[in-house]
């Protein structure tokens, strides 16, 4: 378990759970495919289940990289373990996604030390990379940009390596195995790195190069667009060999992302308000002076910034205005 990042602090977190039972054990989530989990336990890999119908907040759902408390018999390896709780996270790498008319967070990975942002000369987009870097920094992880496929470039690389991004830019060729030793500063036993980037930039090829074997299938590149086809359709955490360029680190391979929207402090505050609103006494509470308002109670406890609540109320009022005055709209 130590090879997967298990520490005395995590053992203490497990034993300190108020509802913990003597037979509970710690495990790390090493694969997520929709609602199916693969866990790494002290006795080896086991399937895991997150009970359906359990009431939980969106950000509390187990994700790749999480350490979890599980129940289940150790001597029945064919039966899945039941995930009982998510242990305290070191950090969460989050992006903002639009669901209908609402913006909500999506946790891409948890307990990540470094995020390797993979791009290529053909895929290079400075503004998009700036958003990636900002999202990683907000997660309290270290961003590192890997400029892959540099063996296909005949000109100087300075236009990319000196682009002024707030993160190191390392030129590599995953296919040729070039430049991977430069990752030594960020890859070490027990440390976790996550790969993100567009499809076709070589994330799967890089994963295979760091593993020293082909476990992650590398995809083709379209002859028409020069863009890659999606090859990774689930999230997987791999332990890297000690004697290779991965130096015993842990690597999370993610499906390709076309772009990333930053989940910032304002978005996090608005989401916290919406989750608290479920506990308000009135279903149509405006979070002003209504009695039993859970949002204002959180402000009084110092858990929410009153100015952000006011900003949220203003935005809600703007969104509600067209629905409240349909007749005025028809008269125009």
Q: Is 70 annotated as a binding residue?
A: no
Tell me how far apart the alpha carbons of residues 25 and 22 are, in angstroms, rounded to a whole number. 8
Q: Is 177 annotated as a binding residue?
A: no
Q: Is 280 annotated as a binding residue?
A: yes
Q: Is 205 annotated as a binding residue?
A: yes
Q: Which residues of 65-97 are buried (b: 16+ CB within 10 A; e: fewer)?
A: bbbbbbebeeeeeeebbebbbbbebbebbbbbe
Cβ pair 150, 182 in contact under 8 A: no
Q: Write the DSSP symbol of residue 122.
A: T
Query: Mutual orientation of helices 265-277 and 306-324 as an angle, nearest 10°?
Result: 70
Q: Is 179 left (phi over 0), alpha (psi -120 to 50) or beta?
A: left
Strand, coil or helix: 269: helix
Q: Is 207 annotated as a binding residue?
A: no
Q: Is 200 annotated as a binding residue?
A: yes
Strand, coil or helix: 44: strand
Runs of H (alpha helix) within the chain: 8-15, 126-138, 158-161, 203-211, 265-277, 294-300, 306-324, 326-331
Q: Which residue has the tokens 């028409």?
A: 224
- CA 141 from chain center: how many Å? 11
Q: Is 256 annotated as a binding residue?
A: no
Tell me how far apart the alpha carbons of residues 111 and 63 are, in angstroms, rounded to a whole number. 10
**Phi, psi for 195 (deg, rounded to 5):** -100, 130
Tell me how far apart the alpha carbons of residues 210 and 220 are, in angstroms, rounded to a whole number. 20
Q: Is 56 annotated as a binding residue?
A: no
Q: Is 148 annotated as a binding residue?
A: yes
Q: Is 68 annotated as a binding residue?
A: no
Q: Is 202 annotated as a binding residue?
A: yes
Q: List, as one string, the DSSP characters of 175-212.
A: TTTBSGGGGGGT--TT-EEEEEE-TTSSHHHHHHHHHT
**Phi, psi for 319 (deg, rounded to 5):** -70, -35
Binding site per annotation, positions: 148-151, 197-205, 280, 285, 287, 293
Binding site per annotation, positions for GTP: 148-151, 197-205
Binding site per annotation, positions for Zn(2+): 280, 285, 287, 293
């Amino acid at each position: 378990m130590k090879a997967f990042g298990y520490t005395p602090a995590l053992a203490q977190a497990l034993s300190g759970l108020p509802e913990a039972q003597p037979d509970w054990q710690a495990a790390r989530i090493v694969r997520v495919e929709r609602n199916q989990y693969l866990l790494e336990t002290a006795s080896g890999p086991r399937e895991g289940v997150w009970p359906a119908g359990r009431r939980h907040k969106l950000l509390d759902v187990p994700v790749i990289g999480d350490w979890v408390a599980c129940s289940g018999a150790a001597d029945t390896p064919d039966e899945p373990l039941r995930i009982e709780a998510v242990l305290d996270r070191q950090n969460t790498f989050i992006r903002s996604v639009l669901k209908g008319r609402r913006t909500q967070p999506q946790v891409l990975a948890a307990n990540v030390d470094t995020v390797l942002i993979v791009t290529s000369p053909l895929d290079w987009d400075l503004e998009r990379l700036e958003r990636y870097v900002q999202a990683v920094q907000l997660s309290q992880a270290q961003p590192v940009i890997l400029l892959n496929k540099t063996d296909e470039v005949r000109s100087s690389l300075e236009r990319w390596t000196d682009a002024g991004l707030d993160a190191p830019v390392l030129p590599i060729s995953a296919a040729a195995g070039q430049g991977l030793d430069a990752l030594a500063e960020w890859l070490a036993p027990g440390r976790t790195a996550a790969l993100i980037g567009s499809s076709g930039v070589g994330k799967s090829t890089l994963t295979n190069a760091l593993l020293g074997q082909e476990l992650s299938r590398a995809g083709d590149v379209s002859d028409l667009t020069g863009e890659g086809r999606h090859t990774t359709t689930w999230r997987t955490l791999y332990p890297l060999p000690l004697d290779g360029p991965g130096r015993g680190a842990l690597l999370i391979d993610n499906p390709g992302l076309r772009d990333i929207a930053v989940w910032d402090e304002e978005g996090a505050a608005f989401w916290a308000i919406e989750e608290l609103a479920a506990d308000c006494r009135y279903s149509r509470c405006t979070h002003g002076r209504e009695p039993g308002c859970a949002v204002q109670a959180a402000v009084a406890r110092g858990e929410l910034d009153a100015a952000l609540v006011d900003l949220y109320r203003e935005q809600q009022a703007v969104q509600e205005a067209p629905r409240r005055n349909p007749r005025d709209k028809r008269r125009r």
